[in-house]
């Protein structure tokens, strides 16, 4: 079984391990946008890794030159443009597309009195300033480096504290936006509730920005930490992916395993 895996997430490394544990003859080529993601994929058992962003034509060339059985899309729920492209490619090369969609977080399990939903990161920045009236109050950005510029269209960078991966691309993005290096918080993997609480207290944060990345993305730990201090959380909801039919989607490793065995 030959698998082309769009990865770079915790879900993707779990999928690699699942396939290797259940299919002795499997071959996995994983693509990630960062070297760090590639290293995690290799350590999880991927046979080959491409650690750079790929455009549509590059993916088409790879799939046309090799005989793959499945295209598994385990990219982040907010990488909707990648998923849309992958669906289009799967139809062109006639390969079965599977979207591993981490389930949405069940907000009924937490106190949501201080939680606000928005549709984009631009809207998150605007909402913090215009609706919450948090001018000149510290904001913790727990939503990755690629979303910072949209928030900073409204939020003053002097009060902006982003938590990002300690990788070259994230550091370069912070430098490009002239974010104070002392404000940049580095992370590896999902942070605990206690780690989030430590940052809220240390920087006297009044707002957290995050995205609906599911339980895998540490949403419970972020909301729980914010609730301990009674501070606001601005939650960016997942984007809609066009052409993503239910038949393509699996929500668990067990579902994926059954689909691969069919």
Residue 103 · residue 251 · CB < 8 Å:
yes
Q: In the chain, what are the domain boundaries?
A: 2-103+240-261, 107-236
pLDDT mean over 181-193: 89
Instruction: Give residue-wise pLDDT tens across range 113-123.
Output: 999 999 999 99
Q: Chain-wide mean pLDDT for the chain?
A: 92
Assign 164 to helix, strand or coil.
strand
DSSP 3-state helix, strand, coil percentages of the chain (rounded to 5)?
45, 20, 35
Q: Do domains 2-103+240-261 and 107-236 have the same CATH topology?
A: yes
Strand partners, 164: 186
What ranges make up the beta strands (E) of the chain? 2-6, 27-32, 48-51, 70-73, 96-100, 115-118, 139-142, 160-165, 185-187, 207-211, 232-236, 249-250
28 is written with which tokens?
């996995």
Phi first, then psi: give them for residue 121, nearest 5 degrees: -80, -30
* Alpha-helix runs per DSSP H in 30-116: 35-44, 56-65, 80-93
What is the CATH number assigned to the segment(s) 2-103+240-261? 3.40.50.720
- Enter the DSSP assignment of 99: E
pLDDT over 80 (residue 58):
yes
Q: pTM above 0.85?
A: no
Who's near 198: CB < 8 A, 6+ residues apart?
A: none
Whole-number Å distance between alpha carbons of 174 and 176: 5
Which residue from 135, 109, 121 is spatially nearest to 223, judged by alpha carbons?
Answer: 109
Q: Given this structure, which CATH class describes domain 107-236? A: alpha beta
Assign 192 a pLDDT band (cuts: 50, 70, 90): very high
What is the pLDDT confidence band of residue 106, given thresholds at 50, 70 and 90?
confident
Largest pairwise CA distance in the chain: 58
- Residue reference for tokens 């062109």: 92
Q: Identify the band that residue 10 occupies on the pLDDT scale cut at 50, 70 and 90.
A: confident
Range of weakest confidence among 29-33, 170-174, 178-182, 237-241: 237-241
Q: What is the helix (H) or strand (E) element at residue 256, kind and residue range?
A: helix 253-261
pLDDT tens digit string along 135-174?
999 999 999 899 999 999 999 999 999 999 888 889 999 9
Q: What whole-number distance in Å separates Cα of residue 161 and Cα of residue 188?
A: 16
User: Do 211 and 235 contact (CB within 8 A), yes or no?
Assistant: yes
pLDDT above 90 (res 256): yes
Q: Are the CB atoms for 260 and 5 separated by under 8 Å?
A: no
Which pLDDT score is estimated for 198? 96
Mean pLDDT of 23-49: 93
- Which has the minimum average pLDDT: 46-50, 162-166, 207-211, 237-241? 237-241
Residue 215 in this model has a pLDDT that exceeds 80: no
């Amino acid at each position: 079984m030959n698998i082309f895996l769009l990865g770079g997430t915790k879900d993707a490394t779990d999928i690699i391990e699942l396939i290797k544990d259940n299919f002795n003859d499997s071959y996995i080529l994983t693509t990630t946008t960062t070297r760090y993601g590639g290293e995690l994929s290799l350590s999880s058992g991927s046979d080959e890794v491409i650690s750079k962003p790929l455009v549509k034509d590059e993916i088409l060339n790879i799939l046309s030159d090799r005989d793959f059985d499945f295209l598994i899309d385990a990219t982040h729920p907010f990488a909707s443009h990648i998923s849309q492209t992958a669906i289009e490619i799967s139809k062109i090369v006639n390969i079965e597309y599977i979207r591993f969609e981490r389930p949405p977080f069940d907000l009924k399990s937490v106190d949501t009195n201080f939680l606000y939903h928005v549709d984009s990161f631009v809207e998150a920045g605007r909402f913090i300033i215009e609706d919450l009236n948090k001018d000149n109050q510290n904001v913790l950005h727990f939503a990755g480096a690629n979303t910072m510029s949209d928030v900073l269209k409204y939020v003053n960078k002097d009060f902006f504290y982003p938590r990002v991966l300690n990788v070259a691309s994230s550091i370069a993005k912070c430098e490009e936006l002239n974010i104070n290096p002392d404000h940049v918080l580095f992370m590896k993997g999902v942070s605990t509730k206690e780690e989030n609480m430590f940052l809220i207290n240390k920087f006297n944060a009044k707002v957290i920005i995050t995205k609906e990345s599911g339980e895998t993305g540490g949403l419970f730990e972020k909301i729980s930490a914010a609730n301990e201090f009674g501070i606001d959380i601005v939650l960016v909801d997942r984007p809609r992916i066009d052409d993503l039919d239910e038949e393509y989607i699996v929500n668990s490793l067990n579902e994926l395993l059954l689909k691969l065995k069919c």
